[in-house]
Structure 1
């Protein structure tokens, strides 16, 4: 079975707020939500809330991101982070 990737059409991207992009970037580059919380001067619960909303937005457009690795892939695909930043 072969799988062809259609590169002529861009992937749909959810509308993330600037804060959600900031949280997404920090989350994929840090070890834990508490590390993100400390860096951004918010609580780990707030980080979790943002991450859950980001996941819901990706799921709503048919690009689920149920794991941290999947969120990293989405951040790379959508240009929110560059590979050399990791």
Structure 2
């Protein structure tokens, strides 16, 4: 008999660029887009544009992430970030 805990869920991962991953990771550990932008030497608008594109990619694979919390969950599920980094 197999329990529900024995099954590892599989997720369709969106294809994120290296820059999208870099911006997503930085934004997730910062308090704001402007703080992430400052650390990456870009504008807050650039961070926002990348986050919008990342959310669109997640929605296209059936895993919408409309909030920062849901995007964090997706990033954790996909191994983009790890809990001990946050």
The TM-score with structure 2 as length reference comes to 0.90
Structure 2: gaps of 5 or more residues: none
Moved over 4 A (4+): none
The TM-score with structure 1 as length reference comes to 0.90
User: Equivalents in 1 of 2:64, 2:79: separation in Å?
Assistant: 17
User: Equivalents in 1 of 2:79, 2:67: separation in Å?
Assistant: 18
1:84–1:45 Cα change, 3 Å: same
1:17–1:84 Cα change, 3 Å: same
Where in structure 2 are the equivalents of 1:3-22 lying within 5 Å? 7-8=7-8, 10-22=10-22
CA RMSD in angstroms comes to 1.6
